[in-house]
Every structure is written in structure tokens, then in C-alpha cells.
Structure 1
Amino acid sequence: MNLSYASISSNKRVDGLLCAVESATYYKRVLEFQNLEVDKYRHCTVSCIVGIECGISSSAIIGVAKEIYDLFGGGHAEWRDLFANINGLRLSQRADIQNFEDCSASCKSIY
């Protein structure tokens, strides 16, 4: 089989996006189960763990896509949600933050 760099690269992007959607959906449910009301904390935490598990690019893409969806009637779009996502992505790049619990604790200290 002869694969070009573009097809391999494209498949990795798709895999990363699928990973990000599945991971974000899972952790969103975990946070809803905990019945936490702080929206920015949830944005931060989900972006952080998805960034760790699936990569920051995929996490950033689904975070922006969610706000665009909200903008067109799916919810309440807010710039502050995007900033919380960015905080989570920054945290996901720290060596001392490696799992959901680390993301949650770090985001709680911010929000």
C-alpha cells in the first residue's frame, strides 16, 4: 500500500478529532455527574484532559466548534468559555499535570 504524507497526516487529524469528541463527551458526563455548577471550571478541566489524551490541536478545535454551535442556537456562546478552554490547554502542557484529577485540581484553583 502506498500512502502519501498527506493521507497519513489527514488520518491522524481525523483520529485526533474523534478522540477529542469521545474524550470530551466522557469527561463532560463525569463532571455533570459530580453536579458542579462552575461552567468555566468545566471548560478548563475538559480542555485540559482532552489536551493530554488527544492533543492540544484537537482539543482546541472542538472547544471552538462548541462555541460556534452555541452561537447559532445550541447554547450560550461566551468569550470567557474560550479563555477557560485556553487555560485548560495550557495546563495540559505542564509536566506535573498528567490525568483528570490533576486537571480538575488545577482548574479548581483558577475557577
Structure 2
Amino acid sequence: MTYVVTENCIRCKFMDCVEVCPVDCFYAGENFLVINPDECIDCGVCEPECPAEAIFPDSDDRATAWAELNASYSTKWPNITRKGTPPADAEEWKDKPGKADLLSPEPHKA
């Protein structure tokens, strides 16, 4: 089993989850984070740290549609091991539904 980042992370990207991950399995896109399922050890420490409540175990129905996207982008985007600065408007986007079309395929730029 693994954990999956879902739609609510889009345009929020708070990154609190990144710093608690003991195996550094997070990867960063321009406006979204993903978890590499081959690296995740299913410890679950990231889930309660997410202010946007966007992380779920892959066994949760809310994660199903996002599992493949996490797997795919985790091989294309850079690994992130430290919390960065979230977007200035992250709080405004938190909990907004229907953000899937806003997902940028571009990698995070330092």
C-alpha cells in the first residue's frame, strides 16, 4: 500500500507533508505534489500534516483516480525533501472543488 496526493493539493501545495516523510518520496510539480508509490513505505505520517487534506491511502476510494498520476509524475518531476513556500494564494484555493483541470504538468522550479 502507498499514499496518494489528490486534487485538493492543486494550487495549494503547502508542503508540510514533505518534511515529515522519512523516505523522501515526494516529487514537486509547478502547482502540485505527488508521492512515488515505489518509495512510499506506508507509514502515514504525511496524511495528518497536509493542511489541504489532500493525502489518502491508495485503498481509499478518493485516491483511486489519482494513483496513476502520482506514479507517472513522480518519475518526471524533481524530488523535494524540504518544505518550501506555498503559493501566495494557497489559502484561497484550499478546499475548492473541481481543480483537476488546473493541474500543471510542468516541474517545480526552484
Q: TM-score, normalised by structure 2?
A: 0.28
Query: Which structure would you say has the larger RCO, counting Cα contacts within 8 Å and 6 or more residues apart?
Result: 2
Q: TM-score, normalised by structure 1?
A: 0.27
Give the greater-gyration-radius structure (CA).
1
